[in-house]
Structure 1
Amino acid sequence: MTYTLLRGNFVIRYADLPRQGPEPDGDTVKFLPDSPALVETLPRRSGHPPKINRRGVSVRLEAIDALETHFEETHQQLAGADAARDELLRLLGFTNVSYWEDQPNKVKSADQDSIRGHVLTNGVDANGRLIGFAYAGDPSGADGASVFLDPALVDASVNGTLLAGGLVYPAFYATLPAELRTHLAEVSQAARGKAAGIWPGSTADPNGAATVTGLVDAEGLVMWPKLFRRIVPYLAAGFTDFDGFDAWLRADPVNRDDEVFLLTRLEHGNLHDVFKGAGQRLQLTVWPEEFIIAPDPPPPAVPSH
């Protein structure tokens, strides 16, 4: 599949607003394209326009999901979350990055506030972010060029490197071509087999359920981030166990119970088909590379050109 090449700068700090800058994490980073108009031409997978302004647009790194450094005033296990973020920034070329003590997700100082790089993208997600693969430095191709993305080029991306190092979980959306999904599944499986990165601490997965008595428990665990992002609002709603988790997911098929395609069964389903919860125990019943997540559907009457 061809992707659009965007040249530009990755940005981690605003010199004029140092305490109001971006909050990079292990799978999202701000990007200021050289040609912002190109972003407006990209496919809108869920019907939403890109959220781009004079400071740039966020890039959601395709195929990976990093432990949350911050999510609705919570976080996941910070050792793993920070390791993914720090390696992402290092791979892009940032050095000596430090953070505000009272705002630990905002960059206080670094050798570079921004740095040259490029993105290969095939569209915009439901949150207005670019879906793409990130690379350090300037490429040989022209801005806006169509690039055929093969497994070797994916392996050279920040996304592929983080997955190979076991620093992130896989998360395969329908925007990812089948050839690349198959390849990246093997990359992730190899990292898990070597017990690299986060994998030795992974829980709430097919190898065993996690015990979660509340949010404090969840924040200290290594689990698939999308599962964490579902249990945070569930617990915030006042639930004290997971007996009602299945019904709660099913009650909102867009924002909670994402549509999935189960690769091992060749069946369509939803997130409730890959989670199991009862009492204080919760787990993902299949590995995350074994299903494809559908993008959010466009709102009514919104074209998805």
Structure 2
Amino acid sequence: MPAVLGLEGSANKVGAGIVRDGVILSNRRATYVTPPGQGFAPGPTARHHRGELLGLVAAALSDAKLSPSDLQAVAFTKGPGMGAPLAVVAAVARTLAQLWGLPLLGVNHCVGHIEMGRLLGPAPDPLVLYVSGGNTQVISFSRRRYRIWGETLDLALGNCIDRLARLLQIPNEPSPGYNVEQLAKRGRVLLELPYGVKGLDVSFSGLLAHLQAVAPRLLANGEATEADLCFSLQETTFAMLTEVTERALALTRASHLLLVGGVACNQRLQEMLRTMCRARGAELCPTDERYCIDNGAMIAQAGWEMLRAGQVTALDQSGITQRYRTDEVEVTWRD
């Protein structure tokens, strides 16, 4: 049974995980955290990953009680993501693969999320809602591709939430999205915000620009609190996502909705989607919180599927692709 080491580092989290025959043997992760009001830039994030990754690999091997000789391949995130962090992870993957004489597996980050969700949940062929800091897509599988039914036309939802956190100087530890979620629970005033749904696509940039323009005045005049702003952002953006996802469920007639990506941890988003799914006779399958946040195990799982299908990445094709779309991947391991 092949054991695959997976390395992830497309944004501010860097991880190493090992999967063997659908069993997660280890999953180590470190997060680059910036001060309140600041995002994470490519250069410092890449330096963080470079300092952490080899230690995470050693820890993942120790947790799995394996040595390099027990591995059959090294998988890494090829894209999409931030260029400098991706390049660090790809360089480490290439080095380890050559050092240990193992094949390389260049994994699409989005496909990694989907394959981990399929592994953990009861949904072998679901409609997928993928919401994270860099991506927002409604996806289903057809004819050896993950097809995108709808997506954001500008900002990803996680990025939108993070930028509100930055505006309000909300701490980035453990994550800005988590802190916005906790504040939103105390919100009482629902502000009217731009609602950008266009068929199966969504747009968040107008909503964010409006919030950035009115927030200082609302806070100064006591017309709204920080909690109200977080509450209003969540309710409006989650309603938009629920609308387009319901439309896609009606079109695909899927019986399961798989929720993946970092924003999938949000309990209010899960609640809204679960209500919608029940009304349509479908089941919501949110990914386990440990694995919906970027991690190495999801890259290992997608890599394991690729290895099983003989889909190996040549060394001269092992560069990164910052804009690597979900529907560009030929999914040879599914019927």
Q: Same fold (TM over 0.5)?
A: no
Higher relative contact order (CA 8 A, sep 6+): 2
TM-score by length of 2: 0.28
* TM-score for the superposition, normalised by structure 1: 0.30
Q: Which structure: larger Rg?
A: 2
